[in-house]
Each structure stands twice: as structure tokens, then as C-alpha cells.
Amino acid sequence: MAIPPYKAPSRYAYDIVIVGGAVIGSSTAYWLSQALGSGASILVVERDSSYEFSSTALSTSAIRQQYSNPINVKISQFGIEIIRGFQERMAPFYTNEPAPDLGFKEHGYLYCCSPEGVEAAKERVELQRSLGAHTVFLEPGPLKERFPWLNVDDLGGGSWGAREEGWFDSMGMLNGFRRAARASGVEYIDNAVT
Ligand SMILES: Cc1cc2nc3c(=O)[nH]c(=O)nc-3n(C[C@H](O)[C@H](O)[C@H](O)COP(=O)(O)OP(=O)(O)OC[C@H]3O[C@@H](n4cnc5c(N)ncnc54)[C@H](O)[C@@H]3O)c2cc1C
């Protein structure tokens, strides 16, 4: 990856500088721009605007509610809300073309566990369900019925989330957030922070 030649930002100083403009940097820039309006100047510095080697581009982009920490479950529930409403949220920033549809595929998420892991897996399912997730624990028999191609011989079972879990287009999300941030006054420059 060639580092681009130095290009000075338009201001001498900014209220907020974000290093890295992939999905997290651009999401942060978007949310800050919406919260602060013209009250704060924001700069995003991105060393490779092709995003070729970014995790965002390499990601499988799966989303699940299956976590053992309640905060992560809540964050993921917020994520689903954002993914589902993304096109509508982005529409004001796409006046000449359709806003990106993240193509969310709600095809579920399965975590297999060994016989030793069953108790802990069931506890996680209970926790997730208490927070509103739709996860269920499947014993090996029902697991085989649901996934006939799966060898369940050495499995204790699996936790299965059929709703609000699946995968989506992470580059569409990055492009949407980036465009919306720029349209809201955030400046992006191609450069590496050292
Ligand atoms: C193979 C793989 C599969 C994954 N699968 C999933 C999944 O299924 N579900 C899921 O939720 N997550 C998954 N992830 C994780 C997810 O992709 C990342 O958590 C997410 O993309 C992180 O976004 P980011 O913007 O923080 O980082 P990145 O996308 O890596 O972006 C960082 C950006 O910062 C720039 N940068 C870095 N240093 C500098 C610097 N000094 N100056 C200027 N710019 C700089 C980089 O060029 C890059 O564009 C996966 C990750 C990988 C690699």
C-alpha cells in the first residue's frame, strides 16, 4: 500500500480528529456530525481510501445476538435496528440515486458446543433470551433435524438464533456512513497519521 503524498487539511485545528475512516471511523464521524451539527469541526484521516486491507472490507459481516455479556447483546440489538433502517436513514444523503440497501439476510447463526460446553451454552441462551433475543438451545437430535448435513455425533448441542441474526453488506454500510458524514460537514483526507 503506497502512502499518498501529504495533503494539508483545510483547517489548522479541528475539534475532533478521527484516525481511520472505515466503518467505525465513518460511523463515529456520522453520529458526531448528527449530534453536534456545525458546532464542531471534524476531520477523518484515512491512509487507504480503497479500504482494500481494512477489516471492514475483509469481514464476513455476520451479526448475532449471541454474546455472554449483556452490553454486547444490547449493542447488537441496536445494530440490527440500524441495519434494517439504514436505507431510510441514508435517503436524505442520496438525492440522485437510491441509498444503499444493506441486503440483510436473516438466515440465523449457529454456535455448536461440545458435551462439556452444554451447561455454559444453555446459561448464555437464558441470558440472551432475558434480554429479548430469540436464541434457543437445540439438543443433538433437534439439531440434526434442523441441519441434516451436520455431523452431531460429538456435539452436545448448539445455540441457534433464527431471528435478528445473519449477514449484511458491510461496505454498503461504510459507504453510507462516509457519504452522510461528508454531506454533514465532516472533512476526509487521504493520509497516514504517524
Ligand atoms: C476476516 C474477518 C472476518 C470478520 N467477520 C466479522 C463478522 O462476521 N461480524 C462482525 O461483526 N465482525 C467481523 N469482523 C470484524 C469487523 O470486520 C471489524 O470489527 C470492523 O470492520 C472494524 O472496523 P474498523 O473501522 O474499526 O477497522 P478497519 O475496517 O480495519 O478500518 C481501520 C481503518 O483505519 C485506517 N488506518 C489505520 N491506521 C491508520 C493511520 N495511522 N492513519 C490513517 N489511517 C489509518 C485503515 O487504513 C483502515 O481503513 C471480521 C474481521 C475480519 C478481518
Rounded percentage of the chain residues whose pLDDT exceeds 70 = 98
How far is it, in rounded angstroms, from Cα 46 to Cα 188?
7
* Residue 23 Cβ < 6 Å to ligand 1: yes
Grid cell of 95 as nine digits: 438525492
Mutate to test the pocket of ligand 1, among 1, 49, 54, 102 (most ligand atoms within 8 A of CB): 54
Mutate to test the pocket of ligand 1, among 19, 43, 59, 175 (most ligand atoms within 8 A of CB): 59
Burial of residue 145 (number of CB atoms within 10 Å: 0-12, 13-18, 19+): exposed
Atom of ligand 1 lying closest to residue 23 CA: 25
Confidence of residue 4 (pLDDT cuts 50, 70, 90): low
List the one residue out of 146, 180, 178, 141 whose CA is nearest residue 160: 146
Read off the pLDDT of residues 11-69 as tens digits, 9 standing for 90 and up: 999 999 999 999 999 999 999 999 999 899 999 999 999 999 999 999 999 999 999 99
Three-state SS at 170: helix
For all residues of the chain together, what is the average pLDDT? 95
- Please tell me the CATH code under which domain 1-61+169-194 is placed: 3.50.50.60
What pLDDT is stored for residue 119 in this prediction? 98
What's the gap in Å between 46 CA and the centre of ligand 1? 12
Within the chain, all domains assigned CATH 3.50.50.60 are found at: 1-61+169-194
What's the gap in Å between 21 CA and the centre of ligand 1? 10
* Residue 193 Cβ < 6 Å to ligand 1: yes
Three-state SS at 29: helix
* Residue 3 Cβ < 6 Å to ligand 1: no
- The H or E element spanning position 110 is strand 109-113
CB 161 within 8 A of CB 109: yes
Atom of ligand 1 lying closest to residue 20 CA: 34
How far is it, in rounded angstroms, from Cα 27 to Cα 174?
7
* Cα 21 to Cα 28, 87, 179, distances in angstroms: 9, 20, 11
- This prediction's pTM: 0.93
